[in-house]
Structure 1
């Protein structure tokens, strides 16, 4: 299938598909061009793109997804290893939640401050004009 059809079926833009090729999320054989020099993507590429979408829904980065794909392709991603990987991801998400909770509290302090006080963000911005 051509990239336009692949884009429609996968929900990814053409540029995103090309980017995924560039970073190695999509692996193509060298001779996928037809006689008019258009790439003819096999069905497996669509399946891989749909897998990328699911991994994004689970919160995995592109780098993490590529790593999991490699482990799977090498045959070393057994269920136990997969669970450990997911547990690490959960710990990372919990850490991010804690960090964002601190940031949210700081921002809430700005919103809750007396209206006659200079906003801390204004102070930072004014300090740049030294």
Structure 2
């Protein structure tokens, strides 16, 4: 598929696709014909962009996404190393989840006390 179709199906801009290519998050598209400059993107490219968009929506940085993609695609990483790296990312995600749950509880506590008398105990969540 050409870049226009890829962008439409993935819900991203042309600039985003080109940026992902430049930074190595997305494989370079092929140019099957030497007579024109049209690039051809695969279904794999579409899946990769959807993965990146989803991971960004979950709060991952492009650097973090790149790390996971690199591990997954690298032929030098054996299965055990891939599992280890992905498990480390899951552990990090679990830690973030716990921190967000703590922050959420504190905000709910603060919300419940809005408009009431505030004591020093109320300030320390």
- For the superposition of Structure 1 and Structure 2, which TM-score range results when normalised by the shorter chain? 0.5 to 0.7
In structure 1, stretches of 5+ residues that fail to align are 119-130
The structure with the largest alpha-carbon Rg is: 1
In structure 2, the gaps of 5 or more residues are 119-125
Q: Is the 8 A contact 1:52 1:65 kept in 2?
A: no
Change beyond 3 A, Cα 1:63–1:48:
farther
**TM-score of the pair, normalised by structure 1:** 0.63
Change (3 A) 1:71 1:83: closer
Q: State how far apart, in whole Å, the 1-side matches of 2:79 and 2:53 are.
A: 20
How large is the Cα RMSD of the aligned pairs? Answer: 3.3
Partner of 2:39: 41
CA distance in 2, matches of 1:71, 1:114: 47
- What does 1:113-124 align with in structure 2 at a 5 Å threshold? 113=113, 115-117=115-117
The reply to whether residue 51 of structure 1 matches residue 41 of structure 2 is no
Q: What residue is the counterpart of 1:95 in the other structure? A: 95
**1:1-130 mapped onto 2 (5 Å cutoff):** 1-28=1-28, 39-44=37-42, 46-54=43-51, 57=54, 61-113=61-113, 115-117=115-117
TM-score (norm 2): 0.65
Aligned length: 115
